[in-house]
Every structure is written in structure tokens, then in C-alpha cells.
Amino acid sequence: MGSFWARTPPATARVAPPLLQVDNLTKTFPGVVANQDVNLTLNEGEIHCLLGENGAGKSTLVNMVFGLQQPDAGEIYIRGQRVNFRNSGDAISAGIGMVHQHFQLIPVFSVAENIILGNEITRGTFLDINTARRQISKLAERYGLTVDPDARVGDLSVGEQQRVELVKALFRDADILILDEPTAVLTPGEVDDFFAVVKSLTSQGKSIIFITHKLREVLAVAHRITVLRAGQVVGSTTVKGATQQSLANLMVGRDVVFRVEKTQANPGALALQTQGLRAHDDRGVETVTGLDVEVRAGEIFGIAGVEGNGQRELVETICGMRSASSGTVHALGQNITGWSPRKINRLGVAHIPENRSKHGVVEQYSIANNLVLNRYNHKKFSTRGVRNTAAIQAEAASLVEQFDVRTTGVQAAISTLSGGNQQKVVVARELTGHLQLLVVAQPTRGLDVGSIEFIHRKIIELRDRGVAVLLVSAELDEIISLSDRIGVLYRGRLAATINAADATREELGLLMATGSSSSTDRNQP
């Protein structure tokens, strides 16, 4: 089946070998051991969840299984036969598919064009797109994956794009699917749909390695669980013998507190107010439609809503990254409508963006430089235009330690960090220094339970210091536990505002889906 197949080990028993077997895989990078003697098995029709903190070695492990990296030591077997993958093409030929956390799709191409890219169907010298469409539709129907072969990928929701990635892997006859943080950017409804798809896939013989940080989801979908810590396997279990608490403790090596501890808020002066705010998305569609929002000093106002109801445009308009078509934004006593992001930041407004790769970091820059992106010209770090490198590195070293950023050093490029550790850098930068208003979107996306606990505590500390916080999150548990008041965004307007102490997942879910609730008497305007 190709030169990546090596040798078959001598038979020692008549028991059928696992579909995938990883024996003592080890991988090192300069200054860090990413994986050390890792063992893992995957059986047919099984969902095997891989848990671990940010930087625990999960991505390195699956990258070796998928041929993106080669191990320094150890062996990989497929159906009992040893393989040496030189690249991802070898892994695909062996029946392995991978859906990355950041989708590998071309937005301007159609669904069909993305799925067949690199595996084109031709008739003579011409692309046979009609046959491709028919095969894709048949495959999607078989596995319960609704996709329109003619739709442009850039026009699809995140959940729809994920289905395209799954169909693309299945189109290449994958028996093993590696799913890297597959629910990180999905809404609660999309997560339920995704789980139905995953269970359908395994019922038809597919096997899945599922990487996630969300313990509730692990217990809902996994058959077996393996936990990595500092590049080593620290435990394996079945769902039957696991709880969220036991898994969290195993991941971080200590007791983890799930409940956000906070006192009653003491709201003060009005810190943020939008009046009649209207804004358009990148397609020119109005997604913020006359929105009125108020956030006071010393409170956390949470925004819940299905993605695409104006959250992104609201945050970007407040922070000067997008122009309002009408209406006003007032912050900290100033009309900041139309101000630049830098001017808004200097006023005392910090921003943790939804898309850290696009708006939060400069991937080519070092960790140290990324930690001072918004204040490199402050007196502490610069004198008459000359950077004080020693001060910048000292600041970075302090923040890396304080926020537990897993790195070989502050001079390393931030692109060398895992997604979760990049998020820690963004959070560390934005929560440091003089701020009176924090606008935060998806603050814990891609973070492990220990890091989530730490970030939540930091946000509560800011609130208790009198900072106003506007929190946008797709995680209902996060919205409910952190917020003092919750606004549900539906079609660019607030469908309701509820005291967080009275909120339930069911009521918020209904408001998010329909814009109305049977409990409207509890809504606070």
C-alpha cells in the first residue's frame, strides 16, 4: 500500500490488533520534551478522547499520527502493521483523516471544490465537477452531514464549514478521524448536532480520536479517555469510571474549582453605553440593528447569543475596529464613536479579541514583543523612541510566570506556542496595566480547565476593583457563572436582559434560538 508500510510484528496472540496502536512515541524540540514514551490504542467504532492542559503534548502526538511530524523514537501500527509516515499524504493513504481546529478550507471555493482539492475527479484532462457533486451528496447523506456542494465556503457558518471538513476526510476513505478541538467554535445547538454526527460515524465503523478541553462533552461522547500531562500519559479510563472533577484533577495535578467564587456586585457609574447602534458585517449585511447596551463600573455584563447575531460587529465597533453606520458609543465619559483602536485603548479600554490569530497576536513576533504590543512606546519600555529591551524582557518573563505560559523562553516566536498558550499571552497583555473597561470575546476558547479557572478569577478580581466588563462568550456555563447581568443578542438587538442569578441554560437557549421566552416577566430592561 506504499513505502510508508514497514514490517509486521510477529504474531503473539490470535486477538485482533487495535485499529491504531501508538507505542512509546517520543518527540523533542529545542529545550522541551513534547511527548515522552506515549502509548495509545484506538479500536474500531470507538471514540477515544485525548485530554490535557495547553502544551501537554496532544497536538504533537496527533501530528505524528497524521504524518505532519516524525517521532524521535517509538512506533505506530495500523491494524497491527508498523507504518512510517513521511507526510500527511502517507497517513491519508493509510485511512487517517484530520479535522484541524483551524479549518483548512479556501473561502472563495465551493464546497465541492474544497472537498476534492488534491483528490480531483477528472474526465480526460478536464475536471468532472458534476460527478464530484453527486458523490459528495451521496456521501453526506450516508453519514447525516448536510452540505450543499455548490455553496461558497466563505458564506457558510462555522458549523457548516466543520461538516465540509468531515466530508472531505470521508471522501478520502478515512477510517480513523482525528478531531482537534472540534467544538471550540460551535454554538450549543451545533454541538448537539455534531455529537449526533459523531455517533453516526462510529455506528458505521469509523473510529475517532477526539481532542477537547470540555469535560462535559468528554463524558457525553467518549468511550475511553487518555490524559496527558507534560508530554506523558498520566492516566487512562472509561467514561463509566470518570467524573469532571476526577478528569480535571488528573489533567492539572491538583484540585480544580469549577464554581466561580464571587461576591455580590456593586455597580457604579456608567462605563459603557451604546445608543441606537447600527453596524454591518464584512458582507455589508446589517447585523447590529439599533442596539442599546449599558455596562457599569464594577459589574460583568454578559452577552449570550447564537454566533452571527451581531456579537462580533458589536465588539469591533466598540473597540474602533469597525465603523458604526449610525448610533453612538460612549465609554468612560467620552463619545468614542469613530475613534481609532489605539486612542480607545489609551482611554483605559482593554480588548481580548475573538480571533487571537487575526487580531490578538503578531505570529512572527516574539512572545516578549507580543506582550507589549499596545504599550511598547510607554516610558517604561521606550526612551525617546529607543526600545528598552531589558525592561520588555523583564516584563514578559514576569507575565509568562504569572499566567503560566508554557514556553522555552520569551524570545521564542509566539507562533511556536499552542493555541491555548497564545491565548494566555493575549489575556496577560490585556489584563495588565491601567484599565477601566474590559471588552472580552471568548476569553477561554481553547483553554484547559486549570487556565479557565485562573482567567475567571482574574476577571472577577478586575470587577471587584471597579472595572466594567463586557463579556461575549459562546459558553453558556461561562456566561451564567461569570456575569452579573446577561443580555441575549438576537438579530442584532437585545431580546432580553436577565439577572444572572435567575438565569437558566434552558431559558437562555430558548431566547438565543427564538428571541423570546416563556418567562418574560423575569426580564429586566
Contacts of 274 (CB under 8 A, 6+ apart): 291, 292, 293, 314, 318, 327, 328, 329, 330
**Architecture of the domain made up of 1-95+175-256:** 3-Layer(aba) Sandwich (3.40)
Higher pLDDT, 525 or 86: 86
Contact between residue 352 and residue 439 where contact means Cβ atoms under 8 Å apart: yes
Largest CA distance in the chain: 76
| pLDDT exceeds 50 at position 525 | no
**Count of residues for the chain?**
525
Residue 11, pLDDT above cutoff 60: no
Q: What percent of the chain has pLDDT over 90?
A: 49
Over residues 160-192, the pLDDT tens digits come to 888 898 889 989 889 999 998 887 666 666 778
Q: Looking at residue 71, what is its pLDDT?
A: 95
Helices (H), 319-388: 341-347, 367-370
Torsion over CA: 29, 32, 38, 42 (sign): negative
Range with the poorest average pLDDT among 55-69, 220-234, 248-262, 367-381: 248-262
Query: 270-523 is classed in which CATH architecture?
Result: 3-Layer(aba) Sandwich (3.40)
Q: What pLDDT shows up at residue 325?
A: 95
Q: What is the pLDDT of residues 329-365, one digit of tens each?
A: 999 999 999 999 999 999 999 999 988 888 889 989 9
- What average pLDDT score do residues 39-43 get? 95
Give the sign of the dihedral formed by CA 430, CA 431, CA 432, CA 436.
positive
Q: Which pLDDT value is given to residue 187?
A: 65
- Domain range annotation of the chain: 1-95+175-256, 104-171, 270-523
Three-state SS at 240: helix
Distance of CA 247 to the CA centre of its chain: 20
The β-bridge partners of 207 are 176
Q: What is the DSSP letter of 9?
A: P
Does 270-523 match 1-95+175-256 at the fold level?
yes
> What percent of the chain is modeled with pLDDT above 70?
94
Mean pLDDT of the chain: 88
Burial of 123 (0-12, 13-18, 19+ CB in 10 A): exposed
DSSP collapsed to 3 states, 189-232 = HHHHHHHHHHHHHHHCCCEEEEECCCHHHHHHHCCEEEEEECCE
